[in-house]
């Protein structure tokens, strides 16, 4: 990794979880109830606080893999155009790996990498240093990971981390990551406008 400027966006506050699984389940039910009421009242989900991204990981933290998979499937149906949120995707890839849907898990982990380039190195205990490239939002920054509770990282056992490390080091991940970083470096030197749109065009094809 290469040095870059300090994060443009301030680090978010850590997300605190109760130590008691019973209270985490209560939080899950509260989030689900709130989202359901919002959908009934408005006809759509507003969810400005991002509760939708927390449900699947919270199910995993209380050891309910089936509930997590059901929540991730609900998310996929209800939010098909949602922006990617790396901590959620990281947990999602792990859930798929645990039920041996390894092709889907691999693709989800690759998607996780593009949602935040720093999250897999953080999981693997690697040094995390900011790339000298354009970061489009706070969710792209290494500091965004400061909100992730320890329970997310602790979901992964040694064998599961080895699986993630193997993919991170694979030619598929490395080559696509290098292309992504080069694109981000090109965008960093351009103002928004026609020239930036021209650079972005190949990545959206």
| 6 assigned to some structural domain | no
Provide the pLDDT for residue 89.
98
d(CA 40, CA 192): 39
Provide the pLDDT for residue 194.
52
| 141 assigned to some structural domain | yes
Provide the pLDDT for residue 196.
44
Q: At what angle do helices 86-98 and 158-169 cross, to 10 degrees?
A: 110
Q: Closest Cα to residue 110, out of 181, 173, 152? A: 173
With 0-12 CB in 10 A as exposed, 13-18 as middle and 19+ as buried, what is 53? buried
| 72 assigned to some structural domain | yes
| 11 assigned to some structural domain | no
Q: What is the pTM of this model?
A: 0.86
| 7 assigned to some structural domain | no
Provide the pLDDT for residue 27.
94
| 186 assigned to some structural domain | yes
User: Can you list the residues of the chain whose pLDDT is less than 70?
Assistant: 1-14, 188-205
Instruction: Yes or no: say if 48 and 17 are a contact pair by the CB < 8 Å rule.
Output: no
Provide the pLDDT for residue 4.
43
Provide the pLDDT for residue 47.
85
Domain that holds residue 129: 21-204
| 40 assigned to some structural domain | yes
d(CA 98, CA 186): 38
d(CA 74, CA 71): 5
| 185 assigned to some structural domain | yes
Domain count along the chain: 1
Provide the pLDDT for residue 205.
39
């Amino acid at each position: 990794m290469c040095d870059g400027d300090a994060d443009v966006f301030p680090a978010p506050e850590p997300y605190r979880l109760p130590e008691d699984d019973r209270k985490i389940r209560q939080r899950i039910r509260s989030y689900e109830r709130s989202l359901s009421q919002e959908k009934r009242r408005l006809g759509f989900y507003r969810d400005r606080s991002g509760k939708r991204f927390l449900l699947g990981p919270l199910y995993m933290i209380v050891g309910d893999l089936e509930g997590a998979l059901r929540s991730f499937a609900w998310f996929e149906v209800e939010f098909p155009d949602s922006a990617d949120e790396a901590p959620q995707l990281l947990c999602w890839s792990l859930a798929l790996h645990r039920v041996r849907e390894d092709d889907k898990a691999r693709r989800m982990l690759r998607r996780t990498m593009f949602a935040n380039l720093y999250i897999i190195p953080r999981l693997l205990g690697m040094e995390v240093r900011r790339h000298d490239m354009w970061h489009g939002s706070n969710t792209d920054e290494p500091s965004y990971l400061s909100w992730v509770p320890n329970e997310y990282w602790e979901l992964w056992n040694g064998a599961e981390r080895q699986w993630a490390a193997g993919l991170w080091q694979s030619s598929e991940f490395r080559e696509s990551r290098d292309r992504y970083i080069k694109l981000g470096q090109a965008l960093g030197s351009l103002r928004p406008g026609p020239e930036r749109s021209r650079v972005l065009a190949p990545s959206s094809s």
